[in-house]
Amino acid sequence: MDRFLLAENPINTDDVIKQYIIHTIKPKCIIEAVNASDDSDVVSSGFPHQIFEFINSDGVPEIWALIVRDVYDHSSSDEIEKLLSRAWRWFRAYMEWEDGNIDEQEASQWN
């Protein structure tokens, strides 16, 4: 079973609020989730990463990069690649849930 946590600092002084996915079981790691639709240079860092497409509830495609920033266990690159795929499924489910909440909130404002 995967154990993911979403971490962000909404009072960050930067213009962009960074989102991190923390995997709490082996391989323990921190993965940064970056909307690459806004910044195509985000994956040029050399860190292990994967690129994914998400169609939001408005039908707009978004390009997301999941970038492994730290790994705290000895893990093979194959394990990390599989973890990124699982992290994407989890993060995509979170974004779908969040989009649903936003749509529901907007609909209730107009009623």
pTM for this predicted structure? 0.85
Number of domains in the chain: 1
Which of 44, 46, 43, 50 is closest to 91 using CA atoms?
A: 50
CA separation for the pair 30, 6 (Å, rounded): 10
Token pair in block for residue 77: 């690159």
> What one-character-per-residue DSSP string does 82-109 give?
HHHHHHHHHHHHHHHHHHHHHHHHHHHH
51 and 65 in contact (C-beta within 8 Å)? yes
Residue 27's domain spans which residues?
4-110
Provide the CA 75 distance to its chain's centre, in angstroms. 20
pLDDT of the residue at 18 = 85
Per-residue pLDDT tens digits of the chain, which is 111 residues long: 569 999 997 777 777 778 999 999 999 999 999 998 876 666 666 889 999 999 999 999 999 999 999 999 888 999 999 999 999 999 999 999 999 888 787 777 776
